[in-house]
Amino acid sequence: MLFTVLARRGASRAGDNSRLALSSGRRWISTTKPAPMLVSPKELQQLLPSGQVSLLDATWFMPGTPRSPREEHSKERIRGSQFLNLDEVANQHELGLKHMMPSPRVFADACEKLGIKPSSHVVIYDTHGVFSSPRALFMFRAFGHRNSSILNGGLPLWELEGHSIDNAPLEPVSKASYPVPQLDKEVIRSYEQVVSNSLSDPTTDSSIELLVDARSRGRFLGTDPEPRPGMSSGHVPHSFSLPFNTFLKMHKDAPVPYTTFKSVPELKEALKEAVGPDNAESVIKGERKIVASCGSGMTAGVLWLGLKLLGTPDVAIYDESWTGYASRSSSKIEKGT
């Protein structure tokens, strides 16, 4: 079957040791063989007849954007897909931050409401092409649901390649059973961990994790403002600028412009340019850990996925990202190079 072929293709890139709990909570079992992290529209179309695919629309828009992803999903979507609200499937945060990693219970409850079972092949897309879907994939992988992928090119490429779009009224989904999983805490970094790591220079200490920032270069340097009013731009000491769009190819000439991931060689070159050839090689080989950050934890998912496509074994996300860091008066903010 196609899934078997795809799983073999993606296994080397997707491997991790996350596990799911049985409902008893006394024993842990590994999930099925990892699905490829990326699937094309053609591959998704071939997978759908299996009846094992759970489609999720994880579209998200930047603060201040006068658009509602839920409303847009109700009007136009891939047939059978459900809307995943990343701001709702999340934990409450003391600073009021959005889309923070949910607790295992919140995640399991969301899966049940969305009709997802532990055996489901979850395929996630967004209407940008690639933007917020990687963050949703990160969430599923962090909870051990390795049978998960994103649709490369999202809804725009799906439609462009001639696949059908559903605009009929939404139909209710049957609730599924999903045992409470275990979160792999090794893929999440806290504020305290990031601050501690920033006290040392990674160029002189190989044990220090590399922190790559997915925000624009101007925001990283402190020359451009943050989209959140009153928040300082700049960066965490000793971090590296790696704007998320350097991992993506923009298809501007399409009827609806969209993004896809660049090729593996192009991803590698972008990483080398950002952190240097030696650091890039040590990260990809697993000799050094790397952490992705962004404005709020959303586009850090693009860096996370791009790094996983390169075969990088140890990639984490700073969940609070810049919004959490810059909101604290005790944080040291650097500007310039």
Helix axes 264-275, 300-309, angle to 10 degrees: 120
Cα torsion for 243, 35, 140, 210, to the nearest 10°?
Answer: -40
3 state SS of 38: strand
Query: Residues 155, 294, 316, 326: which is the catalytic one?
Result: 294
Dihedral class, residue 164 (left if φ above 0, else alpha if ψ from -120 to 50, else beta): beta
Q: Where are the beta strands (DSSP E) in the chain?
A: 19-21, 28-30, 38-39, 53-57, 82-83, 121-125, 148-151, 188-189, 210-213, 240-241, 248-251, 258-261, 290-293, 315-318
> Is 111 among the residues known to form the active site?
no
Measure the N-to-C terminal CA separation of the chain; round to a whole number of Å. 51
- What size, in residues, is the chain? 337
Q: For residues 97 and 261, is the Cβ–Cβ distance under 8 A?
A: no
Contact by Cβ (8 Å): 8, 57: no
Residues annotated as catalytic (active site), given as ranges: 294
